[in-house]
Amino acid sequence: MHRPILAVSALNAWYGGARILYDLDFHIGHGEVVALMGRNGAGKSTTMEAVMGMVSRRSGSVVFRDRDVSKLAPFQIARLGLGFVPGDRRIFTELTVLENLDAGRQPVRRVADGPALREWTPERLFRLFPNLGAMPDRRGDLMSGGEQQMLTVARTLMGNPLALLLDEPSEGLAPVIVEQMADTILELKGQGLSILLSEQNLHFAELVSDRVYVLEKGQIRWTGSIAELAADRDVQRTYLTL
Amino acid sequence: MDAFLFQALNGFASASGLFFVGAGLSLIFGVSRIVNSAHGSLYMLGLYFAWTISQYMGGALGFWGGIVLAAMAVAGLGALIEVSLLRRIYHVPQLFQLLATFGLMLVINDVALGLWGAEDLLGPRAPGLSGFVTIFGRRLPQYDLFLIVVGPLVLVALHLLLARSRFGRLIRAATQDREMLGALGVNQALLFTAVFALGSFLAGLGGALQLAREPASLSLDLAVISEAFVVVVIGGMGSITGAFVAAVLIAQIKALCIAIGVVSIGELTINFSQLTLVAEFVVMAAVLVVRPYGLFGRPQGAVRSAGDAADMPLRPAGRPLLVAATALALALLSLPLLEARFPYALIVGTDVLIAVVFATSLHFIMGPGGMHSFGHAAYFGLGAYGAALAVKWLALPLGAALLCAPLAALAGALLFGWFAVRLSGIYLAMLTLAFAQIVWSIAFQWEEVTGGSNGLLGIWPPSPFDNRAAYYLLTLAVAVVAVIVLRRLLFAPFGYALRAGRDSPLRAGAIGIDVRRMQWLGFALSGLVCGLAGGLFVFAKGSISPEAIGVGRSIDGIVMVLLGGIQSLIGPIVGAGVYSLLQDMVMRQTDYWRALLGGVILLIVLLFPGGIAGALARWTQTPAGASR
């Protein structure tokens, strides 16, 4: 039916002189949750930064909502409705929770053919993340790692994105928080968001995703449904487990 | 007692202008990481604009309206500067940014000279506030009281802006992580322009408000930026409150010095009112040692960008370079043969050789040492005055006097270097600048010893060096030895340790290198050689005066190093040669040499961030393929 909301082809990226990504091709359909899996250093975070235009050099095409965004600045891509949640959190530690949310605020985008999206407000986000609601005026540097992770997601949602790039949402979180995060992702999916998440943990990926791309040394080595990956011990052993 | 309290009020009045410039500088630095050396120029322009508007419109509207209009005009100019110049240099190393804005300062100064002339312009009295109030038994201008109130009011307004408005929140967020803010959909370019306009507005306002207090003068830009550097360094880069506290502190210390006046302790008579310049820099040095990031500052997070070019490894000279160097030395050696036909050649040749020694010593700490000194004139000056005083007061012969030069500079470099190596980056640059200003102001103000602004005259080399050719050859010999020794040091274990400390202080420390000690030693060696250049300079010119050791000298050195290319060992030699030839042959021909120099600096930064030698190297090497 629809063309994918995000389609990437022949994506290459460099850090300084070092090439990190090699001719990546992948896409995310409307309302789909896709996992980008691979070990540390496989290029998962770089893939997301390359899509957002945050690497110093890249080539290839990135089509988001039928527009080629590969020449746009990160803020322009974000304004088209592609939200980025960095893995290393990067919240503004000198700002309070509410101020962080305000920094991420962007107007609701009109979508001609898609489902009507409700505007995110701090109140609505506090229902999704009750922990944050308990500390609206706390400064970022006084929050726990899990709280910071939630704030990063909430801050990006304030931009009312249509799709999310979610870098390692479960990393370094306590098990109970990880489950909350999985619930949150499923809830966001239920509200119509398309999501690309990077993940090392197969269990977490199984909870939330529909399809998987497996990355190794900056190249896509395998792709298929999450059920296929869960059944394929060989692929798991070769590319995922330590 | 009343005298002290009265001077304290005076201090508060002069603190407000300083606070405005410092706050603007701080805001801009926080968001864009650019230290805008031209911020003093914006202050100066604010005052000139206000003067012009008040002249044309006249009356209360002309005065008060002129102040507001002038500040707004400066804000507009600031936005224009950001869009047309700074946007092109956000990705270059901080040192280049500092230098580019210095170039801008020079250009603005000459534009002001062309528009308003060299004479100081005194503004009108403030309509409505032209009277005096009697306080502590003295008459204080009402306008000063007004200024005392305006400072804190602006502080509160800025605080509200930063804390309560979305613009303020975005400024604070960008100060911490501008790239992330961009990924959240905020247009950084627009934000940067707005912040630069706001910072410029503050500087323009600070200048314009002086309309009824001090005349508009072309020397304001450098004076104000030096003080503003002190203010933001003491207060902490990026902190508005810090800028306010530091401005008040500085102004109060100066007021205190003036109130103390002349004090006699036994034989010694100290005129404290002449020590104002030294006093503020001493305070700054003291604060930096105790709190390296200023009273209200905090360590900066690394700027997330892959813009900085990696430093290339240094390579020992190959055969072609050795042949070229020998040929060059022989050519220089035969220069006296041309004296009959080109009598000026030996003067220029001596100038160039002194510049080579100066630039090579600066490059030694800037390149391999990684310490960006913005005050190398200090060691040049110590050397020059050391040699001159040895002749004047001790009547030492040439050889002994030339030996005094590096020793005096070494002593200064050991002292200043001890403080300097505790800092890095922009703080180091500003601290070295401050030390150079101390040396300069001592030379300027200690008239009994240094001859004040006239300097020391009639110091010519004795026989057999009393002719141009002989002195030229002496200079050549010293220059060749200095260059070879410094070069040799860089390929000795000391040089490796120095470079290791530059590339990664942590890792160098982990393998047992005492990085600070290495840097201190490097700093001292560089000062020593630089002092030699100063000593040679005195006998070449027959005199030394504060003018020759001002900020301009430091900037000359940096331009030479960058012109030649900071990553190359022959860079400073090429740069010094090209630059001093340019200076001798072109810049002396025009009254607008500042604009010319500023233009050259801007061109270097925009076109050749790798310098001449760097451009040549890139040209001759096969381009490294990025897609291996």
Complex ipTM, two decimals?
Answer: 0.92
Domain boundary among B244, B260, B290: B290
Q: Which range, of A102-106, A235-239, B363-367, B443-447, averages the lowest pLDDT?
A: B443-447
Pair B280, B402 in one domain: no
Residue B109 amino acid letter: N
User: Measured between alpha carbons, how far is residue B413 from residues B127, B391, B435, B484, B522 in Å?
Assistant: 51, 22, 10, 21, 10
Across the range A24-42, mean pLDDT stands at 94
Q: Does residue A143 have a pLDDT over 50?
A: yes
d(CA B271, CA B260): 8
List Cβ neighbours of B185 (8 Å cut-off, separation of 6 or more): A75, A78, A79, A104, A106, A159
Instruction: Dump the DSSP string for B17-60.
Output: HHHHHHHHHHHHHHHH----TTHHHHHHHHHHHHHHHHHHH-HH
Q: Does residue B625 have a pLDDT over 50?
A: no
Q: B536 falls in which pLDDT band (50, 70, 90)?
A: very high
pLDDT on residue A29: 94
Pair B61, B203 in one domain: yes
Residues of chain B with pLDDT > 90: what percent? 45
Q: Among all chains, which residue has been given the structure tokens 């004479």?
A: B119
| Domain, as residue range, for A35 | 6-240
Q: Does B532 touch chain A (CB under 8 A)?
A: no
Q: A212 falls in which pLDDT band (50, 70, 90)?
A: very high
d(CA B258, CA B276): 8
Please indicate whether, in this complex, the C-beta atoms of B186 and A75 are within 8 angstroms of each other: yes
On whether residue A1 sits in a domain, the answer given is: no
Q: B598 falls in which pLDDT band (50, 70, 90)?
A: confident
Q: B612 falls in which pLDDT band (50, 70, 90)?
A: low
Q: B113 falls in which pLDDT band (50, 70, 90)?
A: very high
Domain boundary among B248, B268, B290: B290
pLDDT on residue B615: 67
In terms of DSSP H, where are the helices of B367-397? 377-392
Across the range B55-79, mean pLDDT stands at 93
Q: Does B188 touch chain A (CB under 8 A)?
A: yes
Pair B221, B354 in one domain: no
Question: Which residue in B62, B368, B423 sits closest to B237, CA to CA?
Answer: B423
Across the range A117-131, mean pLDDT stands at 90
User: Measured between alpha carbons, how far is residue B270 from residues B6, B259, B393, B538 in Å?
Assistant: 22, 13, 21, 28
Q: Does B309 touch chain A (CB under 8 A)?
A: no
Q: Does B170 touch chain A (CB under 8 A)?
A: yes
Residue B393 amino acid letter: W
On the 0-12 / 13-18 / 19+ scale of CB atoms within 10 A, B142 is middle
Q: Does residue B624 have a pLDDT over 60?
A: no
Tokens, residue B382:
């110590």
On whether residue B318 sits in a domain, the answer given is: no
Measured between CA atoms, how close is A65 to chain B, in angstroms? 16
Instruction: Dump the DSSP string for B411-428.
Output: HHHHHHHHHHTT--HHHH
Is the pLDDT higher at B22 or at A118?
A: B22
pLDDT on residue B201: 97
Q: Does B479 touch chain A (CB under 8 A)?
A: no
- Predicted confidence (pLDDT) per residue in B289-312, tens digit: 788 788 888 765 444 333 344 456
Q: Which range, of B70-74, B334-338, B481-485, averages the lowest pLDDT?
A: B334-338
Please indicate whether, in this complex, the C-beta atoms of B176 and A78 are within 8 angstroms of each other: no
Measured between CA atoms, how close is A159 to chain B, in angstroms? 7
Tokens, residue B419:
């403080």
- Of all helices (H) and strands (E), which one includes residue B271? strand B268-271
Strand A57-64 with A6-15, pairing = antiparallel
The DSSP output letter for A213 is E
Tokens, residue A106:
């962007």
**Nearest residue in A to B180, CA atom:** A90
Is the pLDDT higher at B68 or at B422?
A: B68
Cβ atoms of residues A194 and A6 within 8 Å:
yes
On whether residue A26 sits in a domain, the answer given is: yes
d(CA B537, CA B531): 10
Q: Does A79 touch chain B (CB under 8 A)?
A: yes
Across the range B19-23, mean pLDDT stands at 95
CA dihedral B327, B331, B334, B335 (to 10 degrees): -160
User: CATH number, domain at B437?
Assistant: 1.10.3470
Cβ atoms of residues A25 and A33 within 8 Å:
no
| Domain, as residue range, for B149 | 2-116+134-290
Q: Does A164 touch chain B (CB under 8 A)?
A: no
Q: C-alpha angle with apex B607: B595 to B594, nearest 5 degrees?
A: 10
Please indicate whether, in this complex, the C-beta atoms of A103 and B169 are within 8 angstroms of each other: yes
d(CA A76, CA B402): 63
pLDDT on residue A112: 63
CA dihedral A42, A45, A50, A54 (to 10 degrees): -140
- Predicted confidence (pLDDT) per residue in B118-133, tens digit: 999 998 888 888 888 8
Question: Which residue in B567, B559, B569 sits closest to B605, CA to CA?
Answer: B559
Pair B352, B210 in one domain: no
Count of beta carbons in the 10 Å neighbourhood of residue B164 = 10
**Nearest residue in A to B310, CA atom:** A16
pLDDT on residue B313: 65
Measured between CA atoms, how close is B172 to chain A, in angstroms? 8
User: Mapping DSSP to helix (H, G, I), strand (E, B) and coil, where does residue A139 land?
Assistant: strand
Pair B437, B535 in one domain: yes
On whether residue A97 sits in a domain, the answer given is: yes
Residues from chain B contacting residue A17 (CB–CB below 8 Å): 624, 626
On whether residue B313 sits in a domain, the answer given is: no
Across the range B105-128, mean pLDDT stands at 92
In terms of DSSP H, where are the helices of A93-210? 97-103, 122-128, 130-133, 145-157, 175-190, 202-208
Question: Which residue in A150, A4, A14 sits closest to A82, CA to CA?
Answer: A4
In terms of DSSP H, where are the helices of B184-275? 188-208, 220-235, 240-260
In terms of DSSP H, where are the helices of B268-339? 276-290, 319-333
Is the pLDDT higher at B465 or at B43?
A: B43
On whether residue A23 sits in a domain, the answer given is: yes
- The side-by-side arrangement of strands in the sheet containing A18-28 is A18-28, A6-15, A57-64, A67-68
Question: Which residue in B421, B443, B427, B394 sits closest to B527, CA to CA?
Answer: B421
d(CA B557, CA B367): 13
On whether residue B625 sits in a domain, the answer given is: no
Q: Does A124 touch chain B (CB under 8 A)?
A: no
Please indicate whether, in this complex, the C-beta atoms of A92 and B177 are within 8 angstroms of each other: yes
Indicate the residue of A52, A73, A92 with minimum beta-carbon distance to B176.
A92
Please indicate whether, in this complex, the C-beta atoms of B626 and A19 are within 8 angstroms of each other: yes
**Nearest residue in B to A165, CA atom:** B183
Cβ atoms of residues B519 and B501 within 8 Å:
yes
Between the two ends of chain A, the Cα-to-Cα distance in Å is 39
Q: Does residue B73 have a pLDDT over 50?
A: yes
Please indicate whether, in this complex, the C-beta atoms of A94 and B188 are within 8 angstroms of each other: no
Q: What domain count does chain A have? A: 1
d(CA B79, CA B85): 10
- Predicted confidence (pLDDT) per residue in A5-29, tens digit: 999 999 999 987 789 999 999 999 9
Q: What domain count does chain B have? A: 2
Residues of chain B with pLDDT > 70: what percent? 94
Pair B266, B387 in one domain: no
Domain boundary among B272, B290, B308: B290
Tokens, residue B303:
């700027």
Q: Does B186 touch chain A (CB under 8 A)?
A: yes
How much is the mean pLDDT over chain B? 87
Residues from chain B contacting residue A104 (CB–CB below 8 Å): 184-185
- Predicted confidence (pLDDT) per residue in A52-86, tens digit: 999 888 899 999 999 999 999 999 999 999 999 99
Q: C-alpha angle with apex B396: B393 to B398, nearest 5 degrees?
A: 125
Measured between CA atoms, how close is B622 to chain A, in angstroms? 15
Q: B610 falls in which pLDDT band (50, 70, 90)?
A: low
Residues from chain B contacting residue A93 (CB–CB below 8 Å): 176
Q: Does residue B619 have a pLDDT over 80?
A: no
User: Mapping DSSP to helix (H, G, I), strand (E, B) and coil, where does residue A50 land?
Assistant: helix
User: CATH number, domain at A92?
Assistant: 3.40.50.300
